[in-house]
Amino acid sequence: MTDPRLTRLAQGLPASVPFVGPERLERMRGAPFVARLGANESGFGPSPRVAEAIRAAADEAWMYPDPDMHALRNAIAAHNEVAPENVMIGEGIDGLLGNLVRLLVAPGDSVVTSVGAYPTFNYHVTGFGGVLHTVPYTGNFEDPERLVAKARETGAKLIYLANPDNPMGSHHSAHMMRNLVTNVPAGCLLIVDEAYIELAPQGTALAVAPDDARVIRMRTFSKGYGLAGLRVGYALGARDLIAAFDRVRNHFGVGRVAQAAALAALGDQDWLAQINARVADSRDRLAAIALENGLVPLASATNFVAIDCGADGTFARAVLDVLATRGIFVRMPGVAPLDRCIRVTCGPDNQIDAFAKALPDALAAARRHA
Amino acid sequence: MTDPRLTRLAQGLPASVPFVGPERLERMRGAPFVARLGANESGFGPSPRVAEAIRAAADEAWMYPDPDMHALRNAIAAHNEVAPENVMIGEGIDGLLGNLVRLLVAPGDSVVTSVGAYPTFNYHVTGFGGVLHTVPYTGNFEDPERLVAKARETGAKLIYLANPDNPMGSHHSAHMMRNLVTNVPAGCLLIVDEAYIELAPQGTALAVAPDDARVIRMRTFSKGYGLAGLRVGYALGARDLIAAFDRVRNHFGVGRVAQAAALAALGDQDWLAQINARVADSRDRLAAIALENGLVPLASATNFVAIDCGADGTFARAVLDVLATRGIFVRMPGVAPLDRCIRVTCGPDNQIDAFAKALPDALAAARRHA
C-alpha cells in the first residue's frame, strides 16, 4: 500500500528500481556467480595504491569526510586542466545525475534521451516529475542530430548522451561531439556521460572550454579506476552550474575512505594504462568468443562488449537466463532493438574462460526453446 | 551568478551549506587542529573489528555495493527486533532525511521543528520548497507539546525532534516520547532523530510497534559506533513508508566498504559498551572543567556536553574563536538562546587535556573583548 502522506509526485512514482544487483540474483539462485561480468565493473581491480590508501584511511573512519573534498577536488581539477570551481564530486554519477535533474527539472519539464540509454538517468527524471522524450539509436549509436531535434521540438531542459555509449559500447569522435555542443538549444544543458572515457581511444573526451555553460561532463572512478564499491563520481562544468550543486547536495555524502581511495586511484595513471591494455585484450577475447559462436561482437570503446545474438530480445534474454543458471552474470539492454544483444564485461581470463565455456550451451538451450 | 536554467525552486535556494567542515577551518588557519572536539565524532574510534572489515573489504572495492544491502539490513532488523521491511539504510541520517523530505514535502507544505535544532534537516526542507515553522526550546529541551500544537496549527506534514537532543544534549524519557507519538496529528509524520541513542541512558529509545505509521526513527553509525567517515545511517518505520524510499533513493549510494564496516560495528556490542563507559568518563571530565572555569555544564545523554558560558551568543562565539586559534575545534548552537553555550565533544584524554588547557585563556580573552 502506498503511504497516503506522500506528495502527489511521490505517490505516482513506480516502486521499481533501475537495476537488480547481482547479489540478489545470487540469493535467488542460492549460490554465488562464477563470473561477475554484468555490471561493467573492473575485475582487474584498482591500483595497489588504492588498497593501501583504504587501509590507511581505515584509521580515520571515525572522522566525518571533508565536505569540500578539497584534496580530491584539486587533484581532479589539475588532472583535467580546469579550476576546482569547475568540479563537483558526488556519490557516483548516479548521485550527481540525481542532483542535476533536481536542480534543472521542475515537474512537467522536458528531457531528451535515447531509447535504451541509461535507466538511472530516466529514474531521476521521472522521480522529479520531468517528462522523458526519447529518440531511437541510429544503428548502434546514440544519434546527436535526433537528440538535438527532439530537444528543440520539446523545449527540453536536458539532453543526455553517453560517450562512449552504454549499453552498446559505441563512441562518437570528439569532432562530432563538438558539433553536438554547438547545436544545443539555448536554455538546454547537454549531459555527456563519460563514465567509460578512460577506456576509450585517445581523443574521444569532449574538449570544451571549462566554463562552457552548454554542457556538463560526468566522470566516475567506478569503471577504469576500478572503484565501483566506493561511490565516487565527478562532474565537470561551468562554475555557476557547479556551484548550484551546493544548494542541494548531501555535503557529507562522499565518505572519507572513498575520497582517499579516489585520490590514490587518480594518482596512479600507470595502473590505468595497464588496465587499458588488459581491457583491450579482454575485448579481443570476447569478440573472438562471439565470432566462434556465430554471433556478432560490436566494436567497443569501453570495458564491455555488446554481442548481437542475431535474433530478438526474447532470444537474448533466454541466453542470458541460461548463462545465469551456469553461474555467469551478464546483463543486456532493456529495449528493442538493442535487446538483441547481451552485454559482457571485460575481466580476468578465468572469468572470460567461464563465459566462453558456458556460452555454446546457453545458445543451444535458447535455440531449443525458440 | 545563478544559472538561469535552474528551476524556480532551485533559483531561490540559498547557496549556504549546513556545516563548515573542520578541514576548511584548518586550511584557513594554516595548521591542523590539536583537538577535534566539534563534530560529535567518536575520537575513541570504531571497534577494532571495523578496521579489519575495512581492510578485508578493500579487496572488493571494485564491485558495486549490494543495492539491497541485504546482510546489513537483516542485521539491523534483528538488532532492533523488527522486520527487514521496517529498515531503510542510507548515506547517513543526512541522506535519509533528504529522501524523506522529498517523499513527503511538496512546495508550500508545512514542517515543524525547534529553533536551533538540526540545520541539515532545515536545509532539506527548504531545498524541497517546504515551509519551516519553529517553536522555541523550553529551557534546554525540545518541547513536544509546542511541536504538536504548531503542527496542528499549520497542518504540518512532518515534525522533527531529536532524542537525545543535539545541540543541547538533553533527553526525554521513553514515556514522554510515547505521549508525543500519541498526539501526532493525522496526516503528519513524527521524525525522531535518535543519532545519539546508543549513548543515552537505557530506556531512552522510543518503543513503538514496528509498523506504527505515525513515527519514523533515525539512527546512525556515525556517533556511538564511530563511523562518521563512512556515511551509514538507517531509518526504522512502517513498511509502506520504508518501501517508498526505493522510489527516490540512490540505490548504490551506500558503498561496499561502508556496508561491511557497519556490519562489523553492529556485531561488536562489547565495544559499544566500552565506548559508553569512556564517553561517560569524558562527560564527567568536561563537566568538571566547565565548573572549574565558573561555567555551567548541561546534563548530557550524548557524547558531547553543552557548556553554558553564562552570557550571550557573542560571548560564546568569542570563546569559540579563541579556542580555534589555540587549535581546539568545537562548535556551538546557531541561534539564541541556545547560543550562550559552546558544544564540546567527548574524546580521549589528551584531546580533553588540550581543551582544558586552552579554556581559561579563551574565557579571559573573550571577557577582555566583551
Mind listing the domains of chain A with CATH numbers?
8-45+270-369 (3.90.1150.10), 48-268 (3.40.640.10)
Chain A residues whose beta carbon lies within 8 Å of the beta carbon of residue B19: 67, 251
Say which DSSP state B170 is in.
-
- Name the nearest CA neighbour of B247 among B73, B100, B83, B86: B100
User: What is the grid cell recorded at B147?
Assistant: 511541536
- Mutation target for B interface from A1, A2, A3, A216: give the one with most B CBs within 10 A: A3
**What pLDDT shows up at residue B86?**
98
Record: contact B247-A10, CB cut-off 8 A: yes
State how far the Cα of A356 lies from the Cα of B267, in Å rounded to an integer: 41
The residue assigned the cell 582544558 is B356
CB contact, 8 Å: A95 with chain B? yes
**What pLDDT shows up at residue B346?**
98
CB contact, 8 Å: A54 with chain B? yes
pLDDT tens across the length of chain B (370 residues)? 789 999 999 999 987 777 899 999 999 999 999 999 999 999 999 999 999 999 999 999 999 999 999 999 999 999 999 999 999 999 999 999 999 999 999 999 999 999 999 999 999 999 999 999 999 999 999 999 999 999 999 999 999 999 999 999 999 999 999 999 999 999 999 999 999 999 999 999 999 999 999 999 999 999 999 999 999 999 999 999 999 999 999 999 999 999 999 999 999 999 999 999 999 999 999 999 999 999 999 999 999 999 999 999 999 999 999 999 999 999 999 999 999 999 999 999 999 999 999 999 999 999 998 7
**What pLDDT shows up at residue B16?**
72
pLDDT tens across the length of chain A (370 residues)? 789 999 999 999 987 777 899 999 999 999 999 999 999 999 999 999 999 999 999 999 999 999 999 999 999 999 999 999 999 999 999 999 999 999 999 999 999 999 999 999 999 999 999 999 999 999 999 999 999 999 999 999 999 999 999 999 999 999 999 999 999 999 999 999 999 999 999 999 999 999 999 999 999 999 999 999 999 999 999 999 999 999 999 999 999 999 999 999 999 999 999 999 999 999 999 999 999 999 999 999 999 999 999 999 999 999 999 999 999 999 999 999 999 999 999 999 999 999 999 999 999 999 998 7
**What pLDDT shows up at residue B18?**
79
State how far the Cα of B334 lies from the Cα of B331, in Å rounded to an integer: 9
State how far the Cα of A45 lies from the Cα of B62, in Å rounded to an integer: 5
Q: What's the gap in Å between the CA of A367 and the closest CA on chain B?
A: 32
- Those of residues 213-232 in A touching chain B at CB distance below 8 A are 213, 222, 226-231
Chain B residues whose beta carbon lies within 8 Å of the beta carbon of residue A41: 62-64
Type of residue found at A136: P
- Name the nearest CA neighbour of B233 among B51, B99, B132: B99
Residue A304 burial class via C-beta count within 10 angstroms: exposed 0-12, middle 13-18, buried 19 and up: buried
**What pLDDT shows up at residue A15?**
77
Record: contact B17-A94, CB cut-off 8 A: no
**Degrees to nearest 5, angle at CA A323 with A318 and A327:** 145
Count Cα neighbours of B263 within 13 Å in the Cβ-side half-sphere: 19
Q: What's the gap in Å between the CA of A297 and the closest CA on chain B?
A: 25
Chain B residues whose beta carbon lies within 8 Å of the beta carbon of residue A47: none
Type of residue found at A307: I
**Cα-atom radius of gyration of chain A, to the nearest Å?**
20
Q: How far is CA A291 from CA A284, A343, B14, in A?
A: 11, 15, 57
State how far the Cα of B62 lies from the Cα of A195, in Å rounded to an integer: 15
The residue assigned the cell 531511437 is A136
Chain A residues whose beta carbon lies within 8 Å of the beta carbon of residue B30: none
Record: contact B59-A50, CB cut-off 8 A: no
Q: How far is CA B91 from the centre of its chain?
A: 13
**What pLDDT shows up at residue B44?**
97
**What pLDDT shows up at residue B370?**
72
How many CB atoms within 10 Å of residue B108? 8
pLDDT tens-place string over residues B209-261: 999 999 999 999 999 999 999 999 999 999 999 999 999 999 999 999 999 99
The ipTM (two decimal places) reads: 0.97
State how far the Cα of A17 lies from the Cα of A14, in Å rounded to an integer: 8
State how far the Cα of A336 lies from the Cα of A318, in Å rounded to an integer: 15
State how far the Cα of B69 lies from the Cα of A353, in Å rounded to an integer: 30
**What pLDDT shows up at residue A253?**
95
**What residues pair up with B341 in beta bridges, in sequence order?**
B308
The residue in chain A having the minimum alpha-carbon distance to the alpha carbon of residue B260 is A229
Q: What's the gap in Å between the CA of B78 and the closest CA on chain A?
A: 19
Sheet holding A87-90, edge to edge: A87-90, A233-236, A215-220, A189-193, A158-162, A110-114, A131-135
Q: Are A263 and A78 in contact (CB under 8 A)?
A: no
Q: What's the gap in Å between the CA of B142 and the closest CA on chain A?
A: 25
Chain B residues whose beta carbon lies within 8 Å of the beta carbon of residue A127: 247-248
The residue assigned the cell 509524520 is B189
Q: Are A333 and A167 in contact (CB under 8 A)?
A: yes
CB contact, 8 Å: B10 with chain A? yes
Chain B residues whose beta carbon lies within 8 Å of the beta carbon of residue A251: 17-19, 94, 120
CB contact, 8 Å: B48 with chain A? no
**What pLDDT shows up at residue A266?**
98
- Those of residues 168-197 in B touching chain A at CB distance below 8 A are 187-189
State how far the Cα of B144 lies from the Cα of A317, in Å rounded to an integer: 56
State how far the Cα of A121 lies from the Cα of A105, in Å rounded to an integer: 12
State how far the Cα of B336 lies from the Cα of B334, in Å rounded to an integer: 7
